[in-house]
Chain A
């Protein structure tokens, strides 16, 4: 039997790799993929807690997280498509209309 802490550690590690990607990369598509990676790591934590406490609610929440991630992916990707059409680039450094 694998201790639950292994799963939580793995989930943490993957989440921080996702955060690292958000910090390091400048490509909108890759940033979006990092967000998906973080969502996935949270799903892993949900499932492992659901297994530990023998409770199905965690898995139900993962179901909802996956569907919301699908909805988010459709809208986000169409926004990225629109940005690339308007700006001919998906680098976030070039999206400086608001002078941020």
Chain B
């Protein structure tokens, strides 16, 4: 059952790195563990025959977005960040509530759905791009406008004041 082995490997890596992201004090280490979460998520996509998304996940998320994060971490001043830490008091309460919710949800959904053994649908890149350029052509164009405006907005927000 090699597929199950891969699933366990990626899942444990994702959960461990996500916990490390939350509990780590230094933002650099948080960013690095987020990269590991994203990479293992790409592996999980691959296990479910979503090859295009796996590649997209690695290239766009791990490659571009996380590089952006690391650059910003580099530029942001962390002088006073030394004892930035998990804030005390409500930690245990929050943890307990979240554990209860998680456990309840997992219990509720376990054993209700399972995927068909064989992949009958066409999951190829060709099929996805066909959908993007026919059914979803309007959202696709809207995304282009969104990206242009976000680039312009980011440049405008982060510029140096000249006055």
Contact = CB atoms under 8 A, between A and B. Distances in A.
Is B truly associated with A? yes
Interface of A: 1-10, 12-14, 16-21, 23-27, 29-30, 32-34, 36-37, 40, 43-44, 47-48, 50-52, 54-57, 59-60, 62-64, 66-75, 77-82, 84, 88-91
Classify the interface of chain B: helix, strand, loop or mixed.
Answer: helix
Interface of B: 3-4, 7, 11, 14-15, 18-19, 21-22, 27, 30-31, 34, 37-38, 41, 44-45, 47-50, 52-53, 56-57, 60-61, 64-65, 68-69, 72-73, 75-77, 79-81, 84, 86-87, 90-91, 94-95, 98, 101-102, 105-106, 109-117, 119-123, 127-128, 131-132, 136, 139, 143, 146-147, 150-151, 153-155, 157-158
B120 to A, nearest CB: 6
Given A12-B102, A14-B18, 8 more contacts: A4-B115, A5-B111, A9-B106, A20-B98, A36-B34, A44-B45, A68-B146, A70-B60
A88 B47 contact: no
A81 B72 CA distance: 7
A79 B156 CA distance: 10
Contact of B128 (A3, A59, A73): A59
Contacts of A47: 44-45, 48, 50, 53
12 contacts: A3-B115, A9-B105, A33-B27, A37-B37, A40-B37, A47-B45, A54-B121, A59-B53, A62-B50, A66-B61, A73-B65, A81-B157
A44 B127 CA distance: 20
A51 B48 contact: yes
A17 B143 CA distance: 29
B114 A59 contact: no
Contacts of A64: 136, 139, 143
A71 B146 contact: yes
Given A16-B101, A51-B48, A56 B131 contact: yes
B14 to A, nearest CB: 6
Given A5-B112, A54-B119, A71-B150, A17 B15 contact: yes
Contacts of B115: 1-4, 48, 51-52
Nearest to B56: A66
A78 B68 CA distance: 10
Given A21-B22, A25-B86, A67-B143, A44 B76 contact: no
